[in-house]
Chains A and B, each alone.
Chain A
Amino acid sequence: MVDKLPPKERTKIPRQTMPEQDACESAHNFREVNLGLDEAIAQRESQRCLTCADPKCTHGCPVGVQIREVVDLVREGEYLSAAAKLREDNVLPAVTGRVCPQENQCEGACVLARRFNSLAIGYIERFVADYERETGQVGLPERAPSTGKKVAIVGSGPAGLSCAGDLALKGHEVTVFEALHEIGGVLIYGIPEFRLPKEIVRQEVNNMRAMGIDFQTNVVIGKTVTIDELFAEEGYDAVFIATGAGLPKFMNIPGEELAGVYSANEFLTRVNLMKAYDRDRYDSPIYDCRDRNVAIIGGGNTAMDSVRSALRLGAKNAYIIYRRSQQEMPARGEEVHHAKDEGVQFMNLHNPLEFLGNEDGNLTGVKLIKMELGEADESGRRKPVPIEGSEFVMPIDVAVVAIGTGANPLVQSTTPDMATNKWGYIVADDETLRTNKRGVFAGGDIVSGAATVILAMGAGRTAARSMHEYLETGQW
């Protein structure tokens, strides 16, 4: 336990750095790169917090985590109490501590950010959650007595999981339906092991099982059962749709049909869900990247995850091809930093025009054009425009298209009386997450479009509150 320092002294402490695997090593294994803070570093970092009367950090967090209180408890060495405080607002702290875009949220809002470096809130959050998990003292909250109401959750990503957890606590009988064979959504099939160990997700899911939540894998809603059948035949009283934004986008340029061209969803699913990197023990194949040139198209987290996976699969050269500049890159800063350290080659301001192949239909290269930044577009970012005559061909063997995802229509097309917008996302009320269909709520990426883990979790909690109200009152 450490006494509180005067503010002046606190700001003298430098922001603590995350211990990480050496980049030469991490580029070749799938173990987690960030090693986590030890107690001493966590203590030192917690000393830096100014304990603001009006904590801006909390306003910057989409679910309003009581950061000041959590940090206070860490400083006092009350790690389990800190974890409990964290869990009041955030059901997956070990996950968000690792993957939240903190620089745009809690840390971006922290008052320290203006003159010094912001408090490392994500690192502290992770420390607290890991401490709780590793000591095996996860304080499972108590369940309210059974209400006799049945709720179905469609999709087991962060939105579905957080909604399921909150509804179970209120005493409702909760079933989560998942199309894949594992629970976790993008946390399992998308974000790689080296950034988010799957064991963490599995333990959180086990905690939820212990709370009495029923998880049913291998059920595709819209195919195996429809939303209407959940009500009419299986006796559910309310449904929350949290199916994510899982439909891969392609560029529709020539050559995309070649063998060796992947969507990021497929590439990452093979790597993460199917464990194709462990080729001696797992059966799912992945196109051989060893000693090959691999190019990823895109600049988001998905692109960074793909390119760093390609390195670990043995790529000789792993490229990011991005049509804007580094500044506009939507990926978390930390991922870009790791990617650079590990040897990823960034080709910013380049855009693919065409994939080239041989007579066997295998990818051999990509034709690129150089770009420059023009006027700002509707997103406020400067629009990339092609530089005429700058085309050239680069030899590559594997390409991963990571330019975004859209709404999968399976549920919507079999629930025709539920409103969708022109892009096929489900329309839900901002405050209540009710759809236009009685008893049906929706949230997470399938409503907002591809966003973040914490926003999806926030939506899950909002839905749970609103569903509880509906189940109690019966009023729509």
Chain B
Amino acid sequence: MFPIKESRFLSEDVKLFRVQTPRIARKRQAGQFVIVRIHEHGERIPLTIADSDVDDGTITIIVQGIGKTTRLLNELEAGDAILDVVGPLGGPSEVKDFGTVVVIGGGVGTAIAYPTAVAMKQAGNHVITIVGARDRSLLILEDEVRATSDELYLMTDDGSYGEQGFVTQKLQSLIDQGRTIDHVLAIGPIPMMQAVAEVTRPHQIPTIVSLNPIMVDGTGMCGGCRVYVGGQCKFACVDGPEFDAHQVDFTNLIQRNQMYRQREQESLEQFEQDPTHD
């Protein structure tokens, strides 16, 4: 059991937790994730480690409640505990002084990109951050991201905050302005990552995306998380989760992520009807 030390909502359905896991806190690097299971009949789901505190032995995870498991998780509070937390899994982000780095976060992807933005800043980069959300209520971590960015652009689909438009429009305009961009990291919904890859491809700007296939063990044992990069089969949990955006087969990723759609919707409906049902 892994005790929850702190929890708070960042937006209506996005919640931050600080969880006691001393070994993971000591070990983790930006870009890595944990796999959690929250009750005896529960599934295993991956969540990125957004931050850690070695002194008090905690890691921070940020969870968007979109289905049964994440909704159940978001009902937990400080004082509760998570049954299983294993990690840190996956390889760390490649962090070095690239020069100018653009970090793009869409929705809860901002939470996943944030630790790498911090590391990029510490490595001496000029960090430009572009954060996108459907509307203002879904923007998370604004203060934290602002503190670690040399430039910050907030984009909302409906213009309710920051600028109206998509993150790719901002990226395109930076490129059009002739800004030198040495490295791009994009994390968010798959269509967003795919769109970013298409914006940077003609300019041959090295672009990294963090892929989110369906995982079980997270140790390379099941092959369920396989993604196709440059025509080769890779296990995202051990070979990734970050890959060269220009090489990724996004269509296949979208299709494989649909595998359990029907079942996922059923269990969400069941959960909504009877939240006590585990």
Contact = CB atoms under 8 A, between A and B. Distances in A.
Interface of A: 179-181, 217-220, 223-225, 246-248, 250, 252, 256-260, 262-263, 265-266, 269-270, 274-275, 279, 281-285, 287-288, 360-362, 408-410
Nearest to A360: B255
Contacts of B88: 223-224
A274 B222 contact: no
Nearest to B23: A224
Contact of A250 (B69, B89, B223, B251): B223
Contacts of B69: 283
Contact of B259 (A225, A247, A252, A259): A259
Given A220-B86, A285-B263, A361-B256, A247 B24 contact: no
Interface in B164-205: none
Nearest to A283: B43
Contacts of B42: 282-283
B236 to A, nearest CB: 13
A259 B255 contact: yes
B251 A361 contact: yes
Interface in B43-85: 43-44, 68-69, 83-85
B221 A246 contact: yes
- Which DSSP category, helix, strand, loop or mixed, fits chain A's interface? loop
A265 B43 contact: no
B135 interface: no
B37 interface: yes
Contacts of A408: 219-221
Given A218-B84, A220-B87, A262-B223, 5 more contacts: A218-B86, A246-B219, A259-B259, A265-B221, A265-B223
11 contacts: A218-B84, A220-B89, A220-B219, A224-B23, A224-B86, A225-B27, A265-B221, A285-B263, A360-B255, A361-B255, A410-B219
Interface in B241-278: 249, 251-252, 255-256, 258-260, 262-264, 267
Contacts of B123: none
Contacts of B152: none
Interface string B211-239: 00000110111111010100001000010
A410 B87 contact: no
A266 B224 contact: yes
A179 B85 CA distance: 10
A282 B38 CA distance: 12
A310 B167 CA distance: 45
A248 B267 contact: no
B27 A284 contact: no
A233 to B, nearest CB: 9
B81 to A, nearest CB: 13
Given A248-B221, A408-B220, A288 B263 contact: yes
Contacts of A284: 43-44, 216
Contacts of A362: 255
B216 A266 contact: yes
Contact of A287 (B85, B89, B221, B259): B259
Given A219-B23, A225-B27, A257-B256, A269 B222 contact: yes
A259 to B, nearest CB: 5
A270 B216 contact: yes
A400 B80 CA distance: 39
A265 B237 CA distance: 15
A274 B43 CA distance: 7
Contacts of A282: 41-43
B222 A257 contact: no
A275 B41 CA distance: 8
A269 B228 contact: no
A408 B258 CA distance: 28
A287 B220 CA distance: 20
A280 to B, nearest CB: 9
Contacts of B68: 283
A223 B27 contact: yes
Nearest to B259: A259
A284 to B, nearest CB: 4
Nearest to A413: B238
Contacts of A257: 226, 228, 233, 249, 252, 256
B52 to A, nearest CB: 13
Contacts of B238: 410
Closest 6 pairs (CB-CB, A-B): A361-B255, A266-B222, A285-B260, A218-B86, A263-B223, A285-B263
A180 B83 CA distance: 12
A218 B44 CA distance: 12
Contacts of B37: 181
Contacts of B86: 179, 181, 218-220, 224
Given A266-B216, A283-B41, A224 B263 contact: no
Contacts of B24: 224
